Structure 1
């Protein structure tokens, strides 16, 4: 199912950057994000289509572009798909296929794939559990990370495994009203 009115590229970029700045960096959900953001090493790409058919090819194209760039220029890529895969379970299935496709294309050990979705839900969690917000973005988003950069970041952050627990505590303190007040949903709406 796709939205009735397509989200324009500029709006998808603006909403995603606001989410990154206010939630991911602002709440320190990812202590590694601020440095690459400040240095301008995050590449944003938007897949505009309503059908998911070309999204795997777009992801592979972004993976090749990331691998071909110097990390000092482009360390990570966010591929935003605002007009497709609005159902979280469909997106989750797609992400699993995308990971397999990246591995077959030779990116295993070179790139990692993380995913974010406006309706993200951890297994066993209720849909309205605020802790799901750790992985909620304004739109379905595929995040390509360099394995080498992830390894360096983990080495620099001695308690990397504690990040998840700290994020849960942060979101529980913030609550639904606090999350909504961030204005990090699509078009600045509460998510």
Structure 2
């Protein structure tokens, strides 16, 4: 069973020391400073329960403008990366069936994240590696507005991959490991 407080602390460490410090997401710092990022830990191992909680988190975003985005952190149900990818597909289908297409979109993060056609230990994979499996539920309208103010937003993924490759696996893994050891 996960200690939710520790999971959130470790995830916040990763957000601060990797995502924000390295500018992996150029929009995260503003929301972190405002305190508008919600961290939700779901330790259910039952898919139906996790999906129900996922929809509830979307509804929470609907009802609360002070929450800009949610990191929906998963427990044992998504430890395996292939299982996680299956869950991600279902979650995306659920967004559509619940009428959230165009309202929310998902970004995916997992400790074993691996881009298609890449090697397991390639540094580029760390752009989407996180302490725990998670879905980032993003308000599409807010993202579209933010992208308008950022020069060449289409280069963000390429720049992140280049940065992680330049840093190398050892340095990127060290940041992640330090966050897991931080609590």
Which 4+ runs in 1 deviate beyond 4 A? none
Instruction: Say whether the 8 Å CA contact 1:18–1:184 is kept in structure 2.
Output: no
Whether 2:132 is the aligned partner of 1:108: answer: no
CA distance in 1 between counterparts of 2:60 and 2:68 reads: 11
1:179 is displaced (CA, Å) by 1.2
- For residues 84-122 of structure 1, the C-alpha deviation after alignment (integer angstroms, 9 at most, x for no partner) is 211111100110111111111011111111111000110
Instruction: Say whether the 8 Å CA contact 2:61–2:68 is kept in structure 1.
Output: yes
The equivalent position to 1:165 in structure 2, one of 145, 158, 176, is 158
Instruction: Say whether the 8 Å CA contact 1:13–1:46 is kept in structure 2.
Output: yes
Match of 2:38 in 1: 43
Q: Report which stretch shifted further, 45-54 or 13-22.
A: 45-54
**Aligned-residue RMSD, C-alpha:** 1.5
1:176 is displaced (CA, Å) by 1.5
CA distance in 2 between counterparts of 1:117 and 1:181 reads: 16
Match of 1:133 in 2: 126
Match of 1:66 in 2: 61
The equivalent position to 1:180 in structure 2, one of 127, 150, 173, is 173
Name the structure where helix makes up a greater proportion of residues.
2
Count of aligned residue pairs for this structure pair = 182
Match of 1:148 in 2: 141
Q: Report which stretch shifted further, 47-56 or 84-93.
A: 47-56
Match of 1:93 in 2: 86
1:5-44 paired onto structure 2 within 5 Å = 6-44=1-39
Q: Report which stretch shifted further, 77-86 or 141-150.
A: 77-86
1:186 is displaced (CA, Å) by 6.7
The equivalent position to 2:114 in structure 1, one of 107, 121, 138, is 121
Note closer, same or farther for the CA distance 1:107–1:184 as it changes in structure 2 (3 Å cut).
Answer: farther
CA distance in 1 between counterparts of 2:42 and 2:84 reads: 14
Provide the secondary structure at the position in 1 that maps to 2:77.
coil
TM-score, L = length of structure 2: 0.94
Structure 1: gaps (5+ residues): 1-5
1:184 is displaced (CA, Å) by 4.6
1:66 is displaced (CA, Å) by 0.5
